């Protein structure tokens, strides 16, 4: 299946606006993050497991256990603080 990945804030500055990634059917957001981490380089740096990164699936804030569907949109972004 194909999923659309979008990056926001500092992740967007490091990785660009987004990309399309092919995954096995039934993959989770965590599996997607693992695929991106395996690319190494900037992906591994900004999406590292020790870094605070949030995700949304089809514009709904989700945790990484969310199961993805074909053509899902997954957004990764840093935690947002308000003031």
- Across 17-30, b (16+ Cβ under 10 Å) vs e yields ebeebebeeebbbe
Tell me the pairing of strands 73-77 and 2-7: parallel
Contact 43, 35 (CB under 8 A): no
- pLDDT given at position 80: 75
12-52 pLDDT, tens digit each: 999 999 999 999 999 999 999 999 999 999 999 999 999 99
Residue 81 scores a pLDDT above 90: no
- Residue 60 pLDDT greater than 80, yes or no: yes
Q: Where are the domains of the chain?
A: 2-77
Check residue 76 and give its pLDDT. Answer: 97
Backbone angles phi, psi at 36, to 5 degrees: -65, -40
Q: Is the pTM of this model over 0.85?
A: yes
Fold of 2-77: Ubiquitin-like (UB roll) (3.10.20)
Q: Return phi, psi of residue 19, to 5°.
A: -165, 170
């Amino acid at each position: 299946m194909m999923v659309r990945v979008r990056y926001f804030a500092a992740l967007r500055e490091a990785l660009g606006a987004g990309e399309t990634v092919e995954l096995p059917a039934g993959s989770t957001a965590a599996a997607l993050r693992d695929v991106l981490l395996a690319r190494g380089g900037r992906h591994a740096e900004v999406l590292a497991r020790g870094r605070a990164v949030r995700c949304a699936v089809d514009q709904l804030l989700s945790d990484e256990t969310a199961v993805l569907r074909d053509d899902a949109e997954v957004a990764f972004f840093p935690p947002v603080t308000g003031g």
